């Protein structure tokens, strides 16, 4: 059974989280089997397209990969959905977005990040956190 190896904020809390089309910091997955990104956010009309990318430690040489996600609206979780390398656009009013990445999708790379592109320009209060899961050594 996998256990939590590390948990960290990868995009600082903001009153307009999607503004400026941010990327998260690159997260080292060398000891992890999977990562769960969590984006608790305000339920506004603001939306964004989210991609998961493997990359170098400094975030360069990024390439989009497939992943799974689910969105929660008013405490009701949606279905787990597989996203393509084109990512997905968050739904209006969603209060929690969870993104799941299997380390095997990274190939030889060991760093992963989110690339966020604002779609509907309405401020969204939120933060991006990441939990790396794996077996302790």
State the total domains in the chain.
1
Which residue did the predictor score with more confidence, 72 or 2? 72
Residue 6, in any domain of the structure:
no
Structure token pair of residue 103: 């380390």
Q: What is the mean pLDDT of the chain?
A: 94
Q: What is the pLDDT of residue 43?
A: 86
Residue 42 inside a domain? The answer is yes
Average pLDDT of the residues in 27-40: 94
27 lies in a domain?
yes
Identify whether 12 is part of a domain.
Answer: no
Q: What is the pLDDT of residues 72-85, one digit of tens each?
A: 998 899 999 999 99
Assign 2 a pLDDT band (cuts: 50, 70, 90): confident
CA dist 107 and 73 (Å) reads 33
70 located within any domain: yes
Q: What is the pLDDT of residues 42-71, one digit of tens each?
A: 988 999 999 999 999 999 999 999 999 999
Residue 33: which of 112, 91, 94 has the closest Cα? 112
pTM over 0.75: yes
- Asked whether the predicted pLDDT for residue 135 surpasses 80, the reply is no
1 inside domain: no
Is 27 in contact with 133 (CB distance < 8 Å)?
A: no
In a domain, 46, yes or no: yes
Q: Does the structure show a pLDDT above 90 at 29?
A: yes
The CATH number assigned to the domain holding 115 equals 2.60.120
Structural domain that includes position 104 = 17-132
> Does a structural domain hold residue 9?
no
Q: Band the pLDDT of 137: cuts 50, 70, 90.
A: low
- In this prediction, residue 74 carries a pLDDT of 82
């Amino acid at each position: 059974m996998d256990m939590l190896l590390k948990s960290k904020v990868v995009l600082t809390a903001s009153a307009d989280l999607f503004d400026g089309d941010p990327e998260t910091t690159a997260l080292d997955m060398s000891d992890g089997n999977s990562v769960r990104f969590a984006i608790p956010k305000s339920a506004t009309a603001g939306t964004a397209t989210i991609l998961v990318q493997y990359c170098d430690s400094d975030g360069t040489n990024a390439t989009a990969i497939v992943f799974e996600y689910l969105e929660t609206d008013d405490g009701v979780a949606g279905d787990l959905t597989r996203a393509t390398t084109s990512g997905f656009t968050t739904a209006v009013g969603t209060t929690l977005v969870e993104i799941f990445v299997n380390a095997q999708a990274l190939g030889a790379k060991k760093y992963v990040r989110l690339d966020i592109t604002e779609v509907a320009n309405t401020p969204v209060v939120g933060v991006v956190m990441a939990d790396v899961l794996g077996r302790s050594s």
